[in-house]
Structure 1
Amino acid sequence: MTYPLIVIPFAVLTVAVTLATVRRPRFSARMRASGVAALGLVALTAVFDNLMIAADLFTYPEHLISGIRIGLAPIEDFAYPVCAAFLVPAVLTLLTPREDPA
């Protein structure tokens, strides 16, 4: 199995859970905050993945990655922090009881 195929279930789950929170309060504010968090996590991933790969702590077999890289890091590595930035707040939102309108 290739790394891009491994990412697909995480991305689908993230989209599904995030969309399940559309009708919850402050959806747009949560999406903005998740977007900012995703940018920060992508920047950190770019720095630290490149450092770890350059230090030869791990490698990726060429036939298992898409071939698109940011520095030394394959683009697939960036999907996980983006998913986390959107999925974690969405799950927290779903686990928080709705306020009683009465």
Structure 2
Amino acid sequence: MRKIILPLIMLSLGALPLFAQAQDTSALWGKKYAEVKSSLLSAGWVLAPVAEDETPMTEDYPEITCGSGAMAICSVGFMRDKTTLALVVEPIENTLVVTGEY
């Protein structure tokens, strides 16, 4: 029942494309960030601006910023049209990997 009601509510709010986009992001999880970034940019996405007070994860990827504290995550944002995509990125075996979305 929930699977039917949620899309209907989102459709009535004009958010069904955002819901569908969110469902597709799991295909990016576990992939190298450099490959995901390249694919998204090729598909018309652009990097979301980073605030001046945010701390970059690495010099090579200043768009990836990290929070502070023991449970902080590192993330990067992309935008296309009126849609935003925020991905969680983690260093795994010296490689930046997309591990989720928030």
Q: TM-score when scaled to structure 2?
A: 0.26
Higher strand share: 2
Q: Which has the larger radius of gyration?
A: 1
Higher helix share: 1
Q: TM-score when scaled to structure 1?
A: 0.26
Higher relative contact order (CA 8 A, sep 6+): 1
